[in-house]
Chain A
């Protein structure tokens, strides 16, 4: 069974640029959630995708957008990058949406915005 994988591991961008982060969910999982973890903080929920549709969103502006593909992998896109977007971005997959299932996290992508 393959776990959750994310790419790239690290990324450096400049303010105003756009970035795409990728996530492959664990085998058998149809739900992907994205979290932002700033330094010294806990992960903050960005949004969740279930069967290719956005299924809930946290307090993040529209420049944070996502996609889920038929194989349940997912992308997180961030436009017009700001310095405060520097963080660890975590992807988590689970087997149902709305059920009491724990989410399994990938190792994260460390984004630095200069």
Chain B
């Protein structure tokens, strides 16, 4: 049962254009969402997060949008740069147990073409 889904395994974008990475979730109890970027041979690096009380969070070139009714979030990167080429994971977390374990999607490999 995949509670967090990233349906696009890969995405190619021209340098300078917008990259849009999508993520869907099924558990309505999730209230905190994060995006991580992963380069080969490195651990995931935190990019940006959003709490369920917001519908948008922006940090420089990165913006995350949350649509709770559709159980959908997206990461926008503008403008895309070759250094953004990596695997991007979305993750979600739910309250209640006191354990903030993250449920990760399977990742989207972004390739930014120079």
Residues on A facing B (Cβ under 8 Å): 4, 33, 35, 40-45, 48, 55-56, 58, 90, 92, 94, 97-108
> Is B97 an interface residue, CB under 8 A from the partner?
yes
Q: Is A98 in contact with B42, judged by CB distance below 8 angstroms? A: no
> Is B98 an interface residue, CB under 8 A from the partner?
yes
Among A4, A41, A58, contact of B43 (Cβ-Cβ < 8 Å): A4
| 13 A–B pairs (Cβ distance < 8 Å), ordered by A | A48-B99, A48-B100, A48-B101, A55-B99, A56-B99, A58-B101, A98-B98, A100-B32, A100-B49, A101-B100, A103-B102, A107-B41, A108-B43
Assembly CA distance A107 to B39 (angstroms): 10
Assembly CA distance A4 to B42 (angstroms): 11
Among A33, A40, A103, contact of B106 (Cβ-Cβ < 8 Å): A40
State the 4 A-B residue pairs at the shortest beta-carbon distance, nearest first: A56-B99, A42-B104, A105-B43, A45-B101
CB of B107, distance to nearest CB on chain A (Å): 6
CB of A106, distance to nearest CB on chain B (Å): 5
Nearest CB in chain A to that of B47: its residue? A102
Q: Is A56 in contact with B32, judged by CB distance below 8 angstroms? A: no
Instruction: Determine the main DSSP class of A at the interface with B.
Output: loop
Q: Is B46 in contact with A43, judged by CB distance below 8 angstroms? A: no
CB of A25, distance to nearest CB on chain B (Å): 13
The listed residue with most A CB atoms (<10 A of its CB), out of B4, B42, B102, is B102
Assembly CA distance A53 to B97 (angstroms): 14
> Is B44 an interface residue, CB under 8 A from the partner?
yes
Nearest CB in chain A to that of B46: its residue? A102
Among B46, B91, B100, contact of A100 (Cβ-Cβ < 8 Å): B100
Assembly CA distance A102 to B49 (angstroms): 8
Q: Is A102 in contact with B34, judged by CB distance below 8 angstroms? A: yes
Nearest CB in chain A to that of B106: its residue? A42
The listed residue with most B CB atoms (<10 A of its CB), out of A35, A99, A102, A108, is A102
Among A4, A42, A92, contact of B105 (Cβ-Cβ < 8 Å): A42
CB of A5, distance to nearest CB on chain B (Å): 10
Among A4, A45, A48, A98, contact of B103 (Cβ-Cβ < 8 Å): A45
